[in-house]
Chains A and B, each alone.
Chain A
């Protein structure tokens, strides 16, 4: 009897197990492939489908490496401990300059944690920026920068859905080779490094779009191709894949790479149609960047090219509103003016240049704010029969104005106008010619042909004077600072010829703006008896460089530039405008940890 009970209990258990196998199969059946891309592939059970839906499976993140998997298994669940030990060892090897062991250790680290993006970012930066500067020979420095880039490229294979990694490859390939102190040497080494070209060709079109002048790959163009890969990935995955990185700064680097390439080309002596084409291409891509829909921290998407059209629309709507409520705007303004105190009224009458004390300045701005008439104010006073329409127009005008202001802020982050203008100017034949004259002047000066050099400089200044006259906005920008450096070279040449800078020098206004070398000004050309002009006071400091978009020179152990932060968005309340809606706080993107 008992035996029977035991027997039947076992049968019952077996049946229970068999029954449980069915739901287990439904839940846990593995996928055999991606049905979207592979014919006959099965999507698998519930868990496999969920993994696919949320992109959690290893295969969707990137390559699966048997070495990595076996190493992780070999740690017997103590992967974290092993990773800690490897990180400690890596730091010790770096400290004791044991570079081979360091590389071996970072490779092991990457195999243990292939999907931990920070490992790739941190250690590639370590190799390219920190280890490279420890080498005295520039060729070894180049090799180590390359090692860091190759390491990071490896990381992109394991993390195909991380546009940050692709962007970082582009950044290192461009900035580390192109902005280092030894950029001249690095650029040449890159051009000649066929092994590296072959390596990169597996991922980007080095032999096609990566070709620079004379059919040799240019690292700026290759970096742009990596940026493009990052952009394509974001277009496919959405901007959430940026993980907090500011989208407009992220997308700006591709066109900037073209500009850097064009600039580098000209500094190497290519002043012909190639330079014009390069700048034109950069301008087109900058314009395309301006047309790109970029998310903002205000929750709206903007296009950087739209600012002018939005302001125009706001102006048009304001006129339409004034048409619906004629004279109302003026009347409201008069009313507000009347309510001002005498001090405020007096302060408002003065222009900013006339104001000499802080109290008056404060009163001036207060008065401006108090006398601002917004479209909504006008709409409220519109005649009853048009009031509803007036409110509609006021609302649209406000939206257009607000978006235009937002675009303006985002533009300032990437110095959008400057680079647009620069591309427009640089692609013109006269600009290329002007640059060629300066290049030849420097070359001739180095070769000792001082008189010829002087002639070249003079021709260059004639052209630059015309260019700056047509584009006065460039006078306070980066390009002008470079020009001032060239003028200093000219002044040195004059010094060698025992001459001084003439008082009627074509770019004198530029020098005044950026600081005139007062001890070098002589009489105007053709007027040897005229006394030397009095030194002009140094001009006000020029506008800030576009630091967020300009690369910085390489320094020893310099950290890679931190991914840009979404700009602070505290609204500026200007008296002429309605207060903008306070946007949500920006989130800072995580920067690679320093070693």
Chain B
């Protein structure tokens, strides 16, 4: 799985956010909110009157917060729930079920990684449906009340604007959560049943006893080969991202259900340091790939990639540990086509003064695009004073719980490509179902953001306009890098106006516009303004991609608690700030006054 950025430790992030980011954000929002309010008010009433009007609003806000009533908020919440049900919101769930039923039309049943495909599909389908649901629910509710004047029956009651806003948000969130929970359940069973399959192995009579290898039947568009050990047990090869255990019995050879498809690996990640071909610390080589996620080390030289892992103790790994790697290979010459590129692993003591500095070479053959597992036993051979002897891994090769894993490429002229997240120690396996639920929590957070923004926009815009504004926030939230790239000019094709002209005239991205200079200048100026606004939006608005944890679930990695914690806090922060903004908008709106 690709990890572009290291996930910081939760408390480090929290403290930094608490000390720096959050106060700065609160200050900026408060200051600019006050400034904008003052300017609008001053424009209408003059500076002095405007100032007093703003002060009155702020004082009223403090009063509203002090007199906030949970009972009234719950009442508004129930109102929102009833309204949602009246608007037949359950159709969204019906659509979801229909999509699940027809999923077979769209899913590639012969995929090499069916688990990833199924999980991505259900999470993405749920994500989009729920966001659409939240969009339509949240943006039309208040505007409809204004249009039908039912808002008057609410504001004439002792209900405060904050309670109205919170009530709407919580009400829609309650409905959305129920639907999302149902989707989660249906998806879970859909995935499990979709991936369930069984292979057979038929052996002619009289050959069961002697059969040690073979091939399974083709089921779910794939088959496996397997080998049995002397004890009559064995495993199939890894095909379509999973394997089966195989047992010889008196009745024949039994192939058990699949394993390895639905996982939640808990990786322990280390810090990566590259060494160049002369053995000095460096940064790895770029072999010409456009995507620079991985750096490469040259084979047959001293170039190496070294990971340093912490908390490597005997308590955690009494028998040894599983080292998993997903590295790439780059060949400068074909070599032996039928053989993979060889590499070596050395376990190194980080303490340069240690008696036992390094283990003996652990050779391997690189396998691309699969998670290659290597079990490192607790007792292994290491080099001490020039001699090879058996040592205890944790006694001889770790220092203060730290252990280094050094990987080299053995074949000259060939390269291994690695990124920090490509090699890790398998710490544990978390329950898949809980990881699946955590994936849905990510979707829930996105729904919270959409609902909050939708309600906020609906406090001062009409339904359709609020919907477009919220949709724009969603689009900006899904494509922030693209927007920043266009704004900075690193993506060809110009801004919205220029792109529209190129679409209509079918001009490609790199040619000049076929317009007079003054026309081009006007277009570019317009686009500059557009893009600056959009860039500000991209930096302020939530990045929905960040909240999307579907890849973790699909690739079988546990969603780290730190990550989930960060998402929850950020979601909460957005909820609080945007709700307050919605409150001020609603409070300053002329409604039955």
Contact = CB atoms under 8 A, between A and B. Distances in A.
Given A67-B105, A95-B290, A136-B329, A100 B337 contact: no
A195 interface: yes
Contact of A138 (B2, B105, B337): B337
Residue of A70, A97, A143, A195 ringed by the most chain B CB atoms within 10 A = A97
A136 B105 contact: no
Given A95-B290, A135-B368, A136-B366, A100 B111 contact: yes
Interface string B85-119: 00000000000000000100111100111001100
Nearest to A139: B338
Contacts of B32: none
Interface stretch (A104-112, A160-168, A406-414): A104-112
A430 interface: no
Given A100-B111, A136-B331, A185 B291 contact: no
A181 interface: yes
Given A95-B291, A100-B112, A137-B368, A66 B337 contact: no
A259 to B, nearest CB: 25
Nearest to B222: A195
> Interface extent on A, as a size class?
20 to 34
A107 B106 CA distance: 8
B106 A97 contact: no
Contact of B117 (A97, A104, A136, A195): A104
A454 to B, nearest CB: 28
Contact of A67 (B106, B218, B291): B106
Contacts of A99: 112, 369
A93 to B, nearest CB: 11
Contacts of A95: 290-291
Contacts of A108: 106
A71 B106 contact: yes
Nearest to B331: A136
B341 interface: yes
B340 interface: yes
Contacts of B367: 136-137
A99 B291 CA distance: 14
Interface string A130-149: 00000111101001000000
A104 B337 contact: no
A179 to B, nearest CB: 14
Contacts of B293: 96
A288 to B, nearest CB: 37
Interface string B388-400: 0000000000000
B334 interface: yes
A103 interface: yes
A131 B368 CA distance: 13
A182 B337 CA distance: 7
A241 to B, nearest CB: 26
B338 A185 contact: yes
B120 interface: yes
Contacts of A136: 328-329, 331, 340-341, 366-368
Contacts of A185: 337-338
Given A97-B291, A100-B112, A136-B329, A67 B102 contact: yes
Given A101-B120, A104-B117, A135-B369, A195 B218 contact: yes
Nearest to B414: A136
A108 to B, nearest CB: 7
A68 to B, nearest CB: 9
Interface string B281-305: 0000000001101000000000000
Interface in B165-224: 218
Contact of A96 (B102, B105, B291, B341): B291
Contacts of B113: 100
B340 A137 contact: yes
A429 B329 CA distance: 47
Contacts of A181: 334, 337
Contacts of A71: 106
Contacts of B338: 138, 185
A122 B118 CA distance: 26
A97 B555 CA distance: 14
Interface in A82-124: 95-101, 103-104, 107-108, 111
A135 B331 CA distance: 11
The 3 closest A-B pairs by CB, nearest first: A67-B105, A136-B329, A100-B113
Interface of B: 2, 102, 105-108, 111-113, 116-117, 120, 218, 290-291, 293, 328-329, 331, 334, 337-338, 340-341, 366-369
21 contacts: A67-B102, A67-B106, A70-B102, A71-B106, A96-B291, A97-B291, A98-B2, A99-B369, A100-B117, A103-B111, A104-B117, A104-B120, A136-B366, A136-B368, A137-B368, A140-B368, A181-B334, A181-B337, A182-B337, A185-B337, A185-B338
